[in-house]
Structure 1
Amino acid sequence: MALPLPDVLKNGQQYMDSWPMQKQLFGLFPECRIIAATKFGFKVMPALAVMTVAIQLHFLGAEKLPQALTLGIFFLSLPVQGLIWLGLRSQKTLPPAMKSWYQEIYTKMQQQGCALEGLKSKPRFQELAMLLKTAFSELDKAFTKHLF
């Protein structure tokens, strides 16, 4: 069953907030690049959209207003597309290889005495994000180097 768009956007925002932006993860997961691009887009795209519409109206005139607005809306939609991708990704079940890696990290963190939620039988990317965030915040750098 597909989630309604507001729920997907909310999940995307939560996933973006919970994903650890660590250099060790940039080569392993596209999330790091998508999150960086989405955050950049939220900062830059509104100004770019307004400038695009204003410049087109100035040089091409009011008769090109529909095209100018279409291009402005496109620029505004880019960071939203990032949130949608993140929201959908956060709810996907981990593939088998990644699931075993998730369980391995969970076990190692439990042995180190970390307080964790229960181990999920069908973990999603959101649970992986929370586990990795906990690993990077509570464990020392020597231990997290061995995870990757």
Structure 2
Amino acid sequence: MQSFFKTLSLGQQYMKLWPMRKELYALFPECRVISATRFGVQWMPPVAILSATLLLNHFGSAHIPQTLTMVLLILGLPLQGLWWLGQRADSQLPPQLVNWYQEIYQKLREHGCQMSGYKGKPRYWELAGLLKRAFSELDQAFTRECL
């Protein structure tokens, strides 16, 4: 059970790290998953309470098991997004993205950015950090060129 909570925590951290830029929406599903997860975290608890209230008011206490099942389903939707993000953050990059990662890493070093040690097998977590740094420290011409 501990790895489940570690994965959710990693997903939450990855959600904060990933740069939400319009240039990345077409390339990575993270942007859409993060948007949906943030929406779910914000709105699903009130929706669950409203649904439970309406169902119990309309059908009465005879339908408590169905009401609880629906509430758990609604509350579980944001957890699915966090789980997916946590799994994704810990996944290694495919070979095509490793080359792209190396290219961005080299461009950052050429522009004089202090970089930590290069990872031989980078994960999506490292890619998110690298992209966030590239968007914050380099000019728009570079980001248009690399993306």
TM-score in terms of structure 1 length? 0.96
Deviation at 1:116, TM superposition (A): 1.5
Residue 82 (structure 1) aligns with: 81
Please tell me the root mean square deviation across aligned C-alpha atoms, in Å: 1.2
Deviation at 1:77, TM superposition (A): 0.7
Residue 43 (structure 2) aligns with: 44
* Alignment partners' CA distance in 1, 2:68 and 2:2: 29
Aligned AA (1:76): L
Deviation at 1:114, TM superposition (A): 1.2
- Superposed CA deviations along residues 13-49 of structure 1, whole A, max 9, x for unmatched, are 1110100000000000000000000000011100000
- Where in structure 1 are there 5+ consecutive unaligned residues? none
- Superposed CA deviations along residues 89-120 of structure 1, whole A, max 9, x for unmatched, are 00000000011110011011110111221110
Runs of 4+ in 1 over 2 A off after TM superposition: none
* Alignment partners' CA distance in 2, 1:29 and 1:138: 21
Greater Cα offset, 94-103 or 111-120: 111-120
- Secondary structure of the corresponding residue to residue 119 of structure 2: coil
- Where in structure 2 are there 5+ consecutive unaligned residues? none
* Alignment partners' CA distance in 2, 1:14 and 1:118: 21
Q: Percent identity?
A: 50
Residue 70 (structure 1) aligns with: 69
Residue 58 (structure 1) aligns with: 57
Deviation at 1:6, TM superposition (A): 1.2
Residue 100 (structure 2) aligns with: 101
Aligned positions, number:
147
